[in-house]
Amino acid sequence: MQYIGFVGSSKADKCDVESILKAIKIQLLKYPVDSTTIVSGHGEGIDIMSIKSAKEMGFKTIEYTPTSKNWEEYKKRNLQIANKCDKIISFALELGTLTKRKCYHCSRAGRDNNHEKTAGCYTGYKNGNYEVVIV
């Protein structure tokens, strides 16, 4: 069984939801349903959208829920996801969609950071094997 993390912007549900759902489904189609578990963080936006799509497509899922709404708990949750997964798919908003804050997590990883900052990229950075999908 492989574990693939689907994480990203908590603000994605304020954008073009149909396009984002399409991008999530395109990524899900890359993995075999019978040998892949989709992992996410039960947060607003990408996390909830990804798990819902994965369940609709027949994937097994795991959600790590933070115990409270502060960075320390989110960080613990994100590290659980990073440690569980074989790969992370981080969905990030195009730079300028909601902010002009470039992703410093990807910058630290020596990757293209020309997208909005998201904790999904932090999770991917901590995992080491991650891909960023701009939505």
Domains of the chain listed by start with CATH number? 2-134 (3.40.50.450)
Strands in the chain per DSSP E:
2-8, 36-40, 60-63, 87-92, 130-134
- The C-alpha angle 73, 78, 83, rounded to 5 degrees, equals 125
Say what the pLDDT of residue 69 is.
87
Closest by CA position to 91, among listed 28, 1, 2: 28
The answer to whether the pTM exceeds 0.75 is: yes
**Regarding beta strands 36-40 and 60-63, do their DSSP bridges make them parallel or antiparallel, or are they unpaired?**
parallel
User: pLDDT-derived band of residue 85, with 50, 70 and 90 as boundaries?
Assistant: very high
Highest mean pLDDT: which of 6-15, 54-63, 99-108, 111-120?
54-63
Closest by CA position to 54, among listed 43, 66, 62: 62
Q: What are the distances in angstroms from CA 60 to CA 35, 51, 57, 122, 129?
A: 9, 9, 9, 24, 21
Q: Does residue 8 carry a pLDDT above 90?
A: yes
Cβ atoms 121, 132 nearer than 8 A: yes
User: pLDDT-derived band of residue 15, with 50, 70 and 90 as boundaries?
Assistant: confident
Highest mean pLDDT: which of 25-29, 102-106, 109-113, 117-121?
25-29
